[in-house]
Amino acid sequence: MVKTGQTMCTDIILDSISDGVFTVDEEWHITSFNRAAETITGIKRSEALGHLCSEVFRSSMCEGSCALRQTLETGKPIINKPCFIIDANGRRISISVSTAVLRDPTGQMIGGAETFRDVSEVEALRKELRDRFHIGDLLSHSQAMRQVFDIVPAVAMSDSTVLILGETGTGKELLARAIHDTGPRKKRPFVAVNCGALPDTLLEAELFGYKKGAFTGAATDKPGRFALARDGTLFLDEIGDVSPALQVRLLRVLQEHTFDPLGSVKSERTDARIITATNKDLTALVREGKFREDLFYRINVVKIDLPPLRQRKEDIPLLAEQFIERFNRLQGKSIEGLAPEVLSIFMSYNWPGNIRELENVIERAFVLCSGKYILPKNLPAELLSREQEVLPPVSIAAVRNSAEREAILQTLEASDWNCTVAAERLRINRTTLYRKMKVLGIIPHD
């Protein structure tokens, strides 16, 4: 087919675009395929033209969630939908896809167009940043959490008893699980008990178990949490609420690694690693005689303080993004994020319920949100109070850039400002590192 001047001009324009572009006719045959599409996919234009797009692309969307098909069926464009393709060399490449309907001068639909860009570098850097500030389900970019992240690997490799201090909702159980999952016991049981949720008699039976006939209603033997934890980890949350009588039994377990189920005449052994947590001031409770001093020293071998969310507000955009991703999966929605006004409200609020409160606020907003972004009208009244300090809108991109700048600076300092070594540690090429340093205002040392 002889190309017209207009067609040749269009090809030149498409080839000048850095994003991959291809078009299909109504029968899904590829009618154009630009130079960037060749580069990203590793497939030559001559091998793509005239073929069905499903024969050319090996994409995660091809089997049932094709963005271009959805656009041709609904007439609505799709912008920046994430997916991946397998290139000609068998490599998996993360891409971002946008689609549109192709129409002739009369408005008649004649096919579709799709643009896609390689976001592998962005994903690699995002993963690097997440890995640097991610342990288990704990996620943070803040300086306040840095010392916690720094000591977790060493704590996880030991068998010492750990005491986690922090307000309600700061993620004490998440930290306990992270310690368990990072250490040699990760394939063994992790058992959690909320000591403040049960009365003393029930808590004793829950911890130590009981034998048949130990009391009215004990029709069978029941193993306690110490027995279930075996050689794994037992997490005792709200340890400050345990009564003095039960504190004596806990002290014996920590000292002798044995316990007596209710109604048993024989002691049982436990090799469980003990992690405790509380939101109370145990030192004050010891002074008041409400908590045994000897038990306090037994559980306070390694102490970790979890800062409240108001002291690590730079983590709010990151945590919000994590919750939005999770609720999108659970509720089948596609909310893209927070409106700038909402992020401003979040950054000015003091979060007395900490991370748990943030999670609950976002879950509530998901119920009420009908658009792409969570708006102020989707928030509870206490966050919209006029008594809250009003701050200028905060850009999520600005917060991310700040975190990326900090990560690059730390890596450069750790590498003695050797950009080659720093780029290797960040898993990006040196040219990319130089470009990011320039954009983020990082001046290289001589």
CATH number at residue 419: 1.10.10
Residues 204 and 288 reside in one and the same domain:
yes
Residues 301 and 160 reside in one and the same domain:
yes
Asked if residue 168 is part of any domain, the answer here is: yes
d(CA 210, CA 220): 8
Asked if residue 124 is part of any domain, the answer here is: no
Residues 279 and 149 reside in one and the same domain:
yes
Strands (E), 60-206: 78-86, 92-103, 109-118, 134-135, 138-139, 162-165, 190-194
* pLDDT reported for residue 183: 92
Confidence of residue 166 (pLDDT cuts 50, 70, 90): very high
* Range name among 38-52, 253-267, 419-433 with the lowest pLDDT average: 419-433
d(CA 134, CA 357): 21
pLDDT single digits (tens) 236-260: 999 999 999 999 999 999 999 999 8
How many helices (H) and strands (E) in the chain? 19, 18
Query: At residue 390, does pLDDT exceed 50?
Result: no
Overall number of domains in the chain = 4
Residues 177 and 282 reside in one and the same domain:
yes
Arithmetic mean of pLDDT, 194-210? 89
Q: In what order do the strands lie in the sheet with 162-165?
A: 190-194, 233-237, 273-278, 162-165, 302-305
Asked if residue 127 is part of any domain, the answer here is: no
Asked if residue 327 is part of any domain, the answer here is: yes
On the CB side of 151, CA atoms within 13 Å amount to 14
Asked if residue 445 is part of any domain, the answer here is: no
pLDDT single digits (tens) 111-150: 999 988 887 766 665 665 555 566 777 878 787 888 888 8
Residues 235 and 339 reside in one and the same domain:
no
Query: At residue 353, does pLDDT exceed 70?
Result: yes
* CATH number of the domain encompassing residue 47: 3.30.450.20
* pLDDT reported for residue 129: 53
Greater model confidence, 402 or 341: 341
Residue ranges of alpha helices (H) inside 230-388 are 244-256, 282-287, 293-299, 316-331, 340-348, 354-368
Residues 359 and 410 reside in one and the same domain:
no
Asked if residue 128 is part of any domain, the answer here is: no
Residues 291 and 326 reside in one and the same domain:
no
* pLDDT reported for residue 285: 95
Residues 260 and 282 reside in one and the same domain:
yes
* pLDDT reported for residue 123: 66
* pLDDT reported for residue 133: 61
At position 283, the amino acid (one-letter code) is T
Residue 373, Cβ density class (10 Å: 0-12 exposed, 13-18 middle, ≥19 buried) = middle
Residue 302 near residue 162 (C-beta atoms within 8 A): yes
Arithmetic mean of pLDDT, 381-390? 63
Arithmetic mean of pLDDT, 419-424? 83
Asked if residue 72 is part of any domain, the answer here is: yes
d(CA 443, CA 344): 30
Last residue of a domain, one of 307, 329, 360: 307
Residues 197 and 297 reside in one and the same domain:
yes
Mean of pLDDT over the chain = 85
Domain that holds residue 403: 396-439
Residues 6+ apart with CB under 8 A from 258: 252, 267, 268, 269, 270
Query: At residue 12, does pLDDT exceed 80?
Result: no
Residues 407 and 373 reside in one and the same domain:
no
Confidence of residue 396 (pLDDT cuts 50, 70, 90): low
* Range name among 217-226, 277-286, 431-440 with the lowest pLDDT average: 431-440
pLDDT single digits (tens) 317-337: 889 988 999 999 988 888 988
**What is the Cα gyration radius of the chain?**
29
Query: At residue 7, does pLDDT exceed 70?
Result: no
Arithmetic mean of pLDDT, 404-433? 80
pLDDT single digits (tens) 263-312: 888 889 999 999 999 999 999 999 999 999 999 999 999 999 999 999 99
Query: At residue 156, does pLDDT exceed 90?
Result: yes
Q: What percent of the chain has pLDDT over 90?
A: 40
Residues 159 and 70 reside in one and the same domain:
no
Residues 362 and 239 reside in one and the same domain:
no
**Tokens 């397998």 sit at which residue?**
86
Last residue of a domain, one of 280, 307, 334: 307
* pLDDT reported for residue 136: 74
Asked if residue 274 is part of any domain, the answer here is: yes
pTM of the prediction?
0.61
Name 115's bridge partners. 21, 98
* pLDDT reported for residue 402: 67
* CATH number of the domain encompassing residue 253: 3.40.50.300
Confidence of residue 389 (pLDDT cuts 50, 70, 90): very low
* pLDDT reported for residue 384: 82
